[in-house]
Amino acid sequence: MSIYESILITGGGGMLGHALADLLITRGHRPHAFARDQLDISDKAAVEKIFAAIKPTLVLNCAAHTKVDLCEQETDRADAINGHAPGHLARLCAAYSAALVQVSTDFVFDGSSRRPYLPNDPVRPLSAYGRSKLLGEQMIQQNAPQRWLIVRTAWVYGRHGANFPRTMVQAARAGKPLTVVNDQFGSPTYTPDLAAAILDLLDTDANGIWHITNSGQTNWYDFAAATLKEFGITAEISLISSADWAQKRPTSAIRPGYSVLDLTASEKRIGRPMRPWQEALTDFRLAVERWGF
């Protein structure tokens, strides 16, 4: 039986959930996608009911508590959604002989490296969000189904849902002041590219932990500037250091200063390089011009 026989997408209303569903449909599949208001993955009984109804052969877990700063105040909720719920999904996938893909984050690292992070590098999250996502990784490995993938990614954006480029464009168009940190480095990741790479990994029978982003690296300030230039918007952006931002927003979560992920293993596995983040940003702009945010 193909793993695509019965596909469950949790977090189906979000950016990556939409991208995965769209791509699967274009490939001739009919995924069962559940948005957050349709399925709370921390509700064990609700999840078990869905499993019994559709008997998934593949679960793509895109559901998460992703509001990084809010996670600092809602640690129990973050741990429930990002940590314990993936463990329950893993146990159910084992019982139903389903493959599981868990989407994780660069925030499991502390940013002290000065080279791109490998999948097996030591983890040390700095925030409640990062700790909750690492808990999810650990829970999956402790309750592992026969086939599982943990896909770490970073700086995700797409046409559906709140994200950094969208915020920059809308704020600039509204004439709001823009202040962006310039000392946090990572790799922006466009959801259609991430979705395609995840399915390509699955098609190679991959298992384990993988890193997927668009290629190249930048900082938030330069990403903001590139976004406004791509959209033809002229606006002033004030730069600020992470330390100064923390003084202005003392309740905000600590972000890693450097969280570029090494793509060597995943690119070799799928047989192609991930395209540069600048090219993906152009496609994002074209999609927004056609469909809107």
| Residues labelled as active-site residues | 129
Please state, as a whole number, how many other Cβ atoms lie within 10 Å of the Cβ of residue 122: 11
CA distances from 84 to 120, 131, 135, 148, 186 (A): 22, 12, 7, 16, 27
In 3D, which of 51, 65, 20 has the Cα closest to residue 145?
51
Q: Are 275 and 214 in contact (CB under 8 A)?
A: yes
Beta bridge partners of 148: 100
Q: Which two tokens stand for residue 8?
A: 């469950």
In the chain, beta strands by DSSP E: 7-10, 32-34, 58-61, 99-105, 148-153, 156-157, 178-181, 185-186, 189-190, 208-211, 218-219, 237-240
CA distance 116 to 202: 23
